[in-house]
C-alpha cells in the first residue's frame, strides 16, 4: 500500500464505505472495494496502535518538574 499518512488512509476508507453503501457497484467491484477497505482499515488500526504506544502524559510534580507517564486508557 502506497499510503503513508493515517489521514489519507482514513479518507480512502471513508470513500470505500460510501461506495459500498451506495449499492451501485457490481459484485466484483464491491469485492474489490471491500478488499481495499480491509487494507485501509488494517493500516489505520496499525497507525493508531503505534500512536497509542507513543503517547505519553506530562505530569507536573510538586517541585515544578515534569515526569512522563505512559498513556493509560480510561475505563
pLDDT tens figures, 21-60: 999 999 999 999 999 999 999 999 999 988 877 765 667 7
Look at residue 73 and tell me if it is in a domain.
no
Q: How many whole angstroms separate alpha carbon 34 and alpha carbon 15?
A: 11
Look at residue 13 and tell me if it is in a domain.
yes
Residue 26: what pLDDT?
96
Q: How many whole angstroms separate alpha carbon 4 and alpha carbon 45?
A: 13
Rg (CA), the chain: 19
* Structural domain boundaries, residue 53: 1-59
Residue 10: what pLDDT?
96
Q: Is 16 exposed, middle or buried (0-12, 13-18, 19+ CB in 10 A)?
A: buried
Look at residue 75 and tell me if it is in a domain.
no
Please list, residue by residue across 29-49, b when 16 or more beta carbons sit within 10 angstroms of its beta carbon and e when fewer do: eeeebeebbebbeebbeebee
Q: How confident is the model at residue 12 (pLDDT cuts 50, 70, 90)?
A: very high
Amino acid at each position: 500500500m502506497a499510503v503513508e499518512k493515517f489521514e489519507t488512509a482514513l479518507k480512502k476508507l471513508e470513500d470505500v464505505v460510501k461506495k459500498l453503501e451506495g449499492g451501485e457497484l457490481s459484485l466484483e467491484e464491491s469485492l474489490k472495494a471491500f478488499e481495499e477497505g480491509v487494507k485501509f482499515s488494517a493500516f489505520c488500526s496499525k497507525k493508531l496502535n503505534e500512536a497509542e504506544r507513543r503517547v505519553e502524559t506530562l505530569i507536573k510534580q510538586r517541585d515544578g518538574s515534569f515526569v512522563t507517564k505512559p498513556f493509560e486508557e480510561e475505563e
